[in-house]
């Protein structure tokens, strides 16, 4: 038998049976295979894990997002009952910070129902430990039909992507195959791609583009609820208005590794195509805003100074580093973007512009 991770054997058997598979199938198996999938089996976050995220670096992130959502709730007349929902809550840290920061907003906690969309049983357990009671969902499709205040940080980057390389006016798809005991990339025959018709204008021969087919139906469900019942969504992730080039990446122990080397044991991500998200929502969408600008507009520096006044020198260094990391253009400040969805006629959530 070929050596490697247990999932590698599963994938090789599958490729032997059906031929090379799409990158999206490879990514979905690596992240969510029920027995060996990366998220399905572990908590990968934090300094001891494979990667860290904004809410794991500082409480300020969840606090400020919470205040932006609570302001949107007040701007829309403070509906008496609403769903507060998060997709891909990880350890639940962002939601815990959000809930703490909004405790003093009159009526907000009495009106909310907490809904978490999480595919990983291991992370659901962590979320329950930290947040207590909530309603968990496998997908956004089962979120209730009521005003929806929704948040997702580094969720869309974990959804499976397909990659295509342009050849004339048609496209070859990047596939995952198997040769001499190892997984390797190959290319499909060149075929037209309806979903990429708009990319014939801004790409050239040999350019690689990515699409995330799973994202549009999710955004559509969220946007539909917000349009029909009110609410707002804040989506934060790395990426840009339109994706160009290979952004598929694997991280293990905070180091970049070969994405085909250790299936099921490294985090796999790709940059988010914000244009595709905005085109899929029936609601209004805001300008796509750099995370640094968004957090500064919400007052992160003032909040950082208030917290710093209460800190010991050791924690202070970490605190200053986290503030810089989240906001500086050379760190996450520019790479990460924020987009908000909101109903026609409503004010955009604080931190973004129409």
Ligand X SMILES: C[S@@+](CC[C@H](N)C(=O)[O-])C[C@H]1O[C@@H](n2cnc3c(N)ncnc32)[C@H](O)[C@@H]1O
* Chain residues in the site for ligand X (CB under 6 A): 39, 45, 53, 55-56, 88-90, 94, 117-120, 123, 153-155, 158-159
Q: Rounded CA gap, 13 and 11, in Å?
A: 5
| Interior angle at CA 283, CA 117 and CA 196, nearest 5 | 85
Taking the complex as a whole, the smallest distance from the CB of residue 266 to ligand X amounts, in Å, to: 13
What is the CB-side half-sphere exposure of residue 67 using CA atoms within 13 A?
16
**Residue with smaller CB distance to ligand X, 70 or 94:** 94
**Residue with smaller CB distance to ligand X, 171 or 238:** 238
Tally of CB atoms within 10 A around 136: 16
**Residue with smaller CB distance to ligand X, 12 or 148:** 148
Please, what sign has the CA dihedral across residues 69, 74, 77, 83?
Answer: positive
Three-state SS for 219?
helix
Taking the complex as a whole, the smallest distance from the CB of residue 128 to ligand X amounts, in Å, to: 13
Tokens of 42: 């572990």
**Residue with smaller CB distance to ligand X, 88 or 263:** 88
Taking the complex as a whole, the smallest distance from the CB of residue 54 to ligand X amounts, in Å, to: 6
Taking the complex as a whole, the smallest distance from the CB of residue 201 to ligand X amounts, in Å, to: 31
**Residue with smaller CB distance to ligand X, 11 or 234:** 234
Q: Which of 81, 84, 82 shows the shortest CA–CA distance to 96?
A: 84
Taking the complex as a whole, the smallest distance from the CB of residue 209 to ligand X amounts, in Å, to: 22
- Closest-by-Cβ residue to ligand X is 88
Q: Rounded CA gap, 234 and 338, in Å?
A: 7
**Residue with smaller CB distance to ligand X, 67 or 123:** 123
Taking the complex as a whole, the smallest distance from the CB of residue 39 to ligand X amounts, in Å, to: 4
**How many angstroms separate the Cα of 186 from the Cα of each of 24, 175, 286, 295, 296?**
14, 5, 38, 42, 44
Q: Cβ(268)–Cβ(247) under 8 Å?
A: no
């Amino acid at each position: 038998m070929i050596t490697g991770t247990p999932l590698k054997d599963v994938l090789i058997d599958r490729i032997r049976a059906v031929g090379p598979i799409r990158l999206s199938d490879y990514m979905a198996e690596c992240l969510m295979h029920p027995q060996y999938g990366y998220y399905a089996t572990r908590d990968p976050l934090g300094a001891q894990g494979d990667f860290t995220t904004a809410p794991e670096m500082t409480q300020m992130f969840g606090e400020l997002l919470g205040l932006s959502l609570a302001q949107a709730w007040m701007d829309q007349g403070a509906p008496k009952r609403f769903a507060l929902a998060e997709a891909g809550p990880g350890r639940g840290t962002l939601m815990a910070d959000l809930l703490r920061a909004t405790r003093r907003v009159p009526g907000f906690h009495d009106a909310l129902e907490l809904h978490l969309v999480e595919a990983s049983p291991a992370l659901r357990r962590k979320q329950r430990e930290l947040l207590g009671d909530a309603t968990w969902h496998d997908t956004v499709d089962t979120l209730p039909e009521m005003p929806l205040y929704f948040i997702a940080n580094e969720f869309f980057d974990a959804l499976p992507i397909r990659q295509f390389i342009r050849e004339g006016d048609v496209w070859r798809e990047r596939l995952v195959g198997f040769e001499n005991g190892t997984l390797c990339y190959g290319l499909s025959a060149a075929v037209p791609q309806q979903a990429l018709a708009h990319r014939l204008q801004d790409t050239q021969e040999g350019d690689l583009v990515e699409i995330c087919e799973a994202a549009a139906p999710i955004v559509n469900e969220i946007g539909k609820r917000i349009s029909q019942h009110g609410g707002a969504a804040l989506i934060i992730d790395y990426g840009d208005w339109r994706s160009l080039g290979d952004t598929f990446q694997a991280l293990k122990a905070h180091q970049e590794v070969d994405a085909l080397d250790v299936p099921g044991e490294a985090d796999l991500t790709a940059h988010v195509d914000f244009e595709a998200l905005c085109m899929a929502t029936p609601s209004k969408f805001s300008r796509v805003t750099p995370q640094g600008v968004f957090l500064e507009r919400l007052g992160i520096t003032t909040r950082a100074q208030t917290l710093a006044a209460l800190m010991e020198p050791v924690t202070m260094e970490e605190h200053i580093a986290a503030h810089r990391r989240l906001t500086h253009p050379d760190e996450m400040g520019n790479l990460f973007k924020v987009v908000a969805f909101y109903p026609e006629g409503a004010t955009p959530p604080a931190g973004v512009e129409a």
